[in-house]
Structure formats: C-alpha cells, structure tokens
Amino acid sequence: MSDISLEDQQKSVQQKLGRFMLRVQRYEMLLKALVIDSVTSGTVESAPLNKQLRRDHFATKPMGYLFDELHRSYLRQMGETAPEEEESEVDPSRPTFHTRMSMQLAPEDLEQTKARNEAFKNLRNRIVHHLYEEHDLTTKDGCERALALLDMGLDSSQVHYEE
C-alpha cells in the first residue's frame, strides 16, 4: 500500500467504516426483530399493543443488551425449558395466550455461539468506540492497521448476519 497516498488511505478508512456501520445496523435490526418476535402474549385485542411495547422497549437498546437478551431468553441448551413468565394482571373472563420461540443447541454449540457473539460485540465496540484511539489515521501505518481491522470487522459482520 506504500504507493497509495495518505489521503486515499484515509478515504478508504472512511468508506470501510461507513460500510461496517451499515452492516452492523442491519445486523442489530435483525437481532431486535428476533428478540421482539420471539415472545407474543395477551388477548386477541391486547397482543398487538404488547408487541408494540416490546418493540418500543428494544428500539434503543445497544448490541450488548440484545446479545444478553438473546442468550437469556432465546438460545437454550438442548432439553432446557424456558424460564417461567411472571404472572401479569389477567382478566379470567378473557382467553389469553403466551408463546415463546427459542433455539436449542448442543452445550458446546451454545457456548461457542455465546463466545462468538461476545467476540463480535468486542470487535464492534473496538471499531465504533476506539478506532481513532488505537490507530493514528494521520499516518500511512495507522491507516493500514485500521483498514486491516475494518476488513476483519466487515467479514465478521457479514458472517454473523448470514448465520
């Protein structure tokens, strides 16, 4: 990359950072949809409002919170049952329902999934919050290291989204 100007390297960092941010946002939208849609409850009349309340609750939550919720309420070890729901005010004269979807994984697959999610969250945080701290983008060497990190982030974000 030594024949590429510093200005071109900086532009490349900016472009890859933008692509990475868009991929992460797309992935976060997918996580939110999965977490929101994994639980439905209420009466025929209240279920849409309950779904909107879940949507509102998770709308501004960061990726770490979404991963925690995914691990707490969606991903399960094979044979493990879901935790009991807290009883809410229920009108006994109205039929109500509660559904919960989950994915059961073998113990080693569950631990591997959690570890990969944690690694991706840390990589995302490194890029989003510490790129300028860790890489001097006023130098070619700093830009090259930032580009390598961004390439890793782009690859990882695509793999996570597809999985």
**pLDDT tens per residue across span 43-66:** 999 999 999 999 999 999 999 999
Query: What pLDDT, in 10s, does the model give residues 97-153?
Result: 899 999 999 999 999 999 999 999 999 999 999 999 999 999 999 999 999 999 999
Asked if pLDDT for residue 1 goes beyond 50, the answer is: no
Which pLDDT score, from 0 to 100, does residue 163 have?
A: 82
Q: What distances in angstroms separate CA 53 from CA 6, 46, 100, one per listed residue?
A: 49, 11, 16
Q: What is the mean pLDDT of residues 17-28?
A: 95
Chain segment 60-92, per-residue pLDDT in tens: 999 999 999 999 989 999 988 766 665 556 667
